[in-house]
Chain A
Amino acid sequence: MGADHHGPAKGLTRWLFTTNHKDIGSMYLWFSFAMFLLGGSFALVIRSELFQPGLQLVRPEFFNQMTTMHGLVMVFGAIMPAWVGLANWMVPLMIGAPDMALPRMNNWSFWILPFAFTMLSLTFFMDGGAPNFGWTFYAPLSTTYAPPSVTYFIFAVHLMGMSSIMGSINIIATIMNMRAPGMTYMKMPMFVWTWFITAFLLIAVMPVLAGAVTMMLFDIHFGTSFFSAAGGGDPVLFQHVFWFFGHPEVYIMILPAFGVVSEVLPTFSRKPLFGYSSMVYATASIAFLSFVVWAHHMYTVGMPIAGELFFMYATMLIAVPTGVKVFNWISTMFRGSMTFETPMLFAIAFIILFTIGGLSGVMLSLAPLDFQYQDTYFVVAHFHYVLVQGALFSIYCGVYYWLPKWTGHMYDETLAKTHFWMTFIGVNTAFFPMHFVGLAGMPRRIPDYSLQFADFNMLSSIGAFITGFSQLIFVVVLLKCIKGGKSATDQVWDGAQGLEWTVPSPAPYHTFTIPPQVR
């Protein structure tokens, strides 16, 4: 520790070599926002093509590349790095630590990502085009029938996996070792708790995903037959391995959202969180259950009835701890002196809309009904309600909540509320009609559809464009807030509790060099 260790280095090398959790958190967030715009533009290509029935704008082959890349970029490029970014920024501030436990590894786990996504994006310019087999990359679509660029896709997934695993190891080590004196586990803020559990999920399942793509690599290039029935393998095995990763993965994207909402609601209700310890146990139960429900994604592969029933009941069981959380949030707001700043609006919208997504999830969990819903737009509606109105809304919720702490300025509340309402209207217009076309039997991942779905699809496309362009309002809010605006107090929000609100706004480059004492 030199005496010159006070401020950030200058120039580009500051960002290349930084080991500062705030710098790395900011880079993660900027990167994920860039990926969000990229993945969003793919979504707009999809919705433009689906504006009317018939093939208008793109060839079906390119349409398939768009659906695949939209999913991959949004899941691995936008949502997950945004959460890691928020964890980097906030976990040390919330537990009173000076930095992450392994700062150099932190730098590395971020800088892998731009390379992974550059490699993934370059597949568009290769012979045969980008991956076109859906973000779930089921074999044999992703092996026997895949474009040659699949190898680059595989290595990109390997890199993303390494980045996530290193990030998670870092977060767990930080939380276990660097809490301020007096901060016991059951005094940790909910965002820290949810990330702690998420990090364990990541370490458990990202390697399984790496294993799945490695088996694909072997099948494609080295003559093995993991997923090829001709050689004694089984394509259904791929689905089991993939969803063993894939189901915990959806909780990886939503558990930190639960954490953010559990931070924001008490602040703007001016009441402590209702049922803190039940929140912790509910999160842990959801994480545990997420390992034993994966086959509900594959009811139609021909499982024995006992298997269908097991996975059906286990899946429905998840609604119990999730219900505990929803009722705790409502109880937190009950009789609170609530105010409705932008983070609170996103949090309340999250509770309502995520619950809608959760309920369509319970519908999908019913094995006999799932035979009709499988691979329809009903599934698309469901997972966009939980990932856009769920995960994305709570990321915005967290960003607006902590933005004054990061920049030292209050953001433009009017413009931010406009952003919220436009996004709220946009996403519901886009995704709600998908329930109806899905129930009526419109298949997903199809560039053309029958005429009876035309009106609802046009509505969805209009909603998608409203959503897409509303995000430009966020860019303006963000830039304005970085450049100036009303100075933020240290506490920022008058109901805010927690260590992150005890440091100055903007948070100095180094915080908690002397550990604070918690009660």
Chain B
Amino acid sequence: MPTKSTRNIALRLGAVAVGMFGFGFALVPLYDVMCKVLGISRETIVTQSQLDPDAAQADMSRTVTMQFLANKNDGMAWEFRPSQFEMDVNPGAMNNTTFYVRNPAHRAMIAQAVPSVSPPEAAPFLHKTECFCFRQQTLAGGEALDMPLQFVVDQALPKKIRTITLSYTLFDVTTMAAAPDQRVGFRN
């Protein structure tokens, strides 16, 4: 039998190991927290920015070029493109645009768009008040749609940033949404 003190050491170290296993999982929320603290806006599909009323005063003396990109994840069959590739906006002013999607398949499919902003420093200053990326999109076979996007560029946007690129990647989540135990996009 190990001595009492050996048993104590073993139990404590075992507890550390269990704790570190938990820490591995804690890294998942920590990752989001760290990104926020460090000012790296890691946009997730649920992000809906709170708009500061002061920022909503349009600054007509300054324009920022917004560029829109539409990407499809590997194997995604939908047509997906911005209806407008570029627009000049005034910080503080509300802007509207749309992205066009069409499902060419013969069956209904569900898609999820994931945004990304470049340069990353601009991300905290881009407020999306309405976005198709906030929820999954279901289209019947052959159906097409102009998906709305409404956003404001914050007045506090650093002066050196003149162009912001907003890129969306469209993922096919049909199997994931239908049967959660199915592997996404798994092809053998």
Q: What is A's interface to B at a CB cutoff of 8 Å? A: 101-102, 105, 127-128, 143-144, 148, 165, 168-170, 172-173, 176-177, 203-212, 214-215, 220-223, 225-226, 228-232, 234, 237, 240-241, 244, 302, 304, 306-307
Chain B nearest CB: distance from A2 CB in Å? 15
Considering the chains assembled together, what is the distance between the CA atoms of A214 and B28 in angstroms? 13
Chain A nearest CB: distance from B102 CB in Å? 19
Q: Note all chain A residues with C-beta closer than 8 A to B96.
A: none
Could you tell me if B13 and A173 are in contact, using CB atoms closer than 8 angstroms?
Answer: yes
Considering the chains assembled together, what is the distance between the CA atoms of A105 and B3 in angstroms? 14
Contacts A172-B9, A176-B9, A232-B46: A240 and B188 contacting too (C-beta < 8 A)?
A: no
Number of residue pairs A-B, CB distance < 8 angstroms = 124
Contacts A223-B181, A231-B173: A102 and B20 contacting too (C-beta < 8 A)?
A: no
Could you tell me if A230 and B10 are in contact, using CB atoms closer than 8 angstroms?
Answer: no
Q: Note all chain B residues with C-beta closer than 8 A to A230.
A: 73, 112, 114, 171-173, 176, 184
Of all chain B residues, the one with the shortest Cβ separation from A177 is: B6
Q: Note all chain B residues with C-beta closer than 8 A to A244.
A: 24, 27
Given B20, B21, B31, B182, which contacts A240 in the complex, CB threshold below 8 Å?
A: B31
Could you tell me if A206 and B17 are in contact, using CB atoms closer than 8 angstroms?
Answer: yes
Chain A nearest CB: distance from B6 CB in Å? 5
Q: Note all chain A residues with C-beta closer than 8 A to B46.
A: 232
Q: What is B's interface to A at a CB cutoff of 8 Å? A: 2-3, 5-6, 9-10, 13-14, 16-25, 27-28, 31, 38-40, 42, 44-46, 73, 112, 114, 120-121, 169, 171-173, 176, 179-186, 188
Contacts A226-B28, A231-B176: A207 and B17 contacting too (C-beta < 8 A)?
A: yes
Chain B nearest CB: distance from A249 CB in Å? 13
Considering the chains assembled together, what is the distance between the CA atoms of A231 and B180 in angstroms? 11
Given A127, A173, A212, which contacts B9 in the complex, CB threshold below 8 Å?
A: A173
Could you tell me if A307 and B38 are in contact, using CB atoms closer than 8 angstroms?
Answer: yes
Given B31, B112, B181, B188, which contacts A237 in the complex, CB threshold below 8 Å?
A: B31
Q: Note all chain B residues with C-beta closer than 8 A to A205.
A: 20
Sample of 9 A–B contacts (CB below 8 Å): A169-B9, A169-B10, A173-B6, A203-B13, A211-B22, A229-B171, A230-B176, A237-B31, A244-B27
Q: Note all chain A residues with C-beta closer than 8 A to B20.
A: 203-208
Q: Note all chain A residues with C-beta closer than 8 A to B28.
A: 215, 226, 237
Given B13, B21, B172, B182, which contacts A172 in the complex, CB threshold below 8 Å?
A: B13
Could you tell me if A173 and B10 are in contact, using CB atoms closer than 8 angstroms?
Answer: yes
Could you tell me if A223 and B180 are in contact, using CB atoms closer than 8 angstroms?
Answer: yes
Of all chain A residues, the one with the shortest Cβ separation from B11 is: A169
Considering the chains assembled together, what is the distance between the CA atoms of A184 and B161 in angstroms? 61
Chain A nearest CB: distance from B91 CB in Å? 22
Nearest 10 A/B pairs, CB to CB: A211-B24, A223-B180, A230-B171, A207-B21, A207-B20, A208-B24, A169-B13, A173-B9, A101-B6, A229-B114
Q: Note all chain A residues with C-beta closer than 8 A to B121.
A: 304
Contacts A176-B9, A229-B171, A304-B120: A234 and B38 contacting too (C-beta < 8 A)?
A: no
Contacts A101-B2, A223-B180: A212 and B24 contacting too (C-beta < 8 A)?
A: yes
Could you tell me if B24 and A207 are in contact, using CB atoms closer than 8 angstroms?
Answer: yes
Q: Note all chain B residues with C-beta closer than 8 A to A307.
A: 38, 40
Given A128, A144, A306, which contacts B184 in the complex, CB threshold below 8 Å?
A: A144
Chain B nearest CB: distance from A30 CB in Å? 27
Of all chain B residues, the one with the shortest Cβ separation from A212 is: B24
Q: Note all chain A residues with C-beta closer than 8 A to B45.
A: 232
Given B10, B25, B73, B183, which contacts A215 in the complex, CB threshold below 8 Å?
A: B25
Q: Note all chain A residues with C-beta closer than 8 A to B39.
A: 304
Chain A nearest CB: distance from B78 CB in Å? 13
Q: Note all chain B residues with C-beta closer than 8 A to A232.
A: 44-46
Q: Note all chain A residues with C-beta closer than 8 A to B3.
A: 177
Could you tell me if A231 and B184 are in contact, using CB atoms closer than 8 angstroms?
Answer: yes
Contacts A169-B13, A177-B9, A237-B28: A210 and B182 contacting too (C-beta < 8 A)?
A: no
Could you tell me if B171 and A128 are in contact, using CB atoms closer than 8 angstroms?
Answer: no
Q: Note all chain A residues with C-beta closer than 8 A to B23.
A: 207-208, 211
Of all chain A residues, the one with the shortest Cβ separation from B3 is: A177
Considering the chains assembled together, what is the distance between the CA atoms of A49 and B144 in angstroms? 49
Chain A nearest CB: distance from B155 CB in Å? 22
Given B13, B21, B27, B169, which contacts A210 in the complex, CB threshold below 8 Å?
A: B21
Q: Note all chain B residues with C-beta closer than 8 A to A143.
A: 183
Of all chain B residues, the one with the shortest Cβ separation from A165 is: B17
Considering the chains assembled together, what is the distance between the CA atoms of A240 and B24 in angstroms? 10
Contacts A210-B24, A229-B114, A230-B171: A222 and B181 contacting too (C-beta < 8 A)?
A: yes
Chain A nearest CB: distance from B3 CB in Å? 7
Could you tell me if A102 and B173 are in contact, using CB atoms closer than 8 angstroms?
Answer: no
Could you tell me if A223 and B24 are in contact, using CB atoms closer than 8 angstroms?
Answer: no
Could you tell me if A211 and B21 are in contact, using CB atoms closer than 8 angstroms?
Answer: yes
Given A208, A209, A304, which contacts B40 in the complex, CB threshold below 8 Å?
A: A304
Chain A nearest CB: distance from B129 CB in Å? 20
Q: Note all chain B residues with C-beta closer than 8 A to A304.
A: 38-40, 120-121
Of all chain B residues, the one with the shortest Cβ separation from A220 is: B183
Contacts A101-B2, A229-B114: A223 and B25 contacting too (C-beta < 8 A)?
A: no
Chain A nearest CB: distance from B19 CB in Å? 8
Chain A nearest CB: distance from B72 CB in Å? 12
Q: Note all chain B residues with C-beta closer than 8 A to A212.
A: 24
Given A211, A223, A241, which contacts B176 in the complex, CB threshold below 8 Å?
A: A223
Could you tell me if B120 and A207 are in contact, using CB atoms closer than 8 angstroms?
Answer: no
Could you tell me if B182 and A223 are in contact, using CB atoms closer than 8 angstroms?
Answer: yes
Chain B nearest CB: distance from A179 CB in Å? 13
Considering the chains assembled together, what is the distance between the CA atoms of A500 and B72 in angstroms? 64
Could you tell me if B27 and A240 are in contact, using CB atoms closer than 8 angstroms?
Answer: yes
Q: Note all chain A residues with C-beta closer than 8 A to B5.
A: 177
Of all chain A residues, the one with the shortest Cβ separation from B118 is: A302
Could you tell me if A144 and B185 are in contact, using CB atoms closer than 8 angstroms?
Answer: yes
Given B9, B42, B120, B188, which contacts A128 in the complex, CB threshold below 8 Å?
A: B188
Considering the chains assembled together, what is the distance between the CA atoms of A396 and B46 in angstroms? 55
Chain A nearest CB: distance from B4 CB in Å? 10
Of all chain A residues, the one with the shortest Cβ separation from B121 is: A304
Considering the chains assembled together, what is the distance between the CA atoms of A488 and B125 in angstroms? 75
Given B21, B31, B44, B186, which contacts A208 in the complex, CB threshold below 8 Å?
A: B21
Q: Note all chain A residues with C-beta closer than 8 A to B13.
A: 168-169, 172-173, 203
Of all chain B residues, the one with the shortest Cβ separation from A224 is: B180
Considering the chains assembled together, what is the distance between the CA atoms of A165 and B169 in angstroms? 41
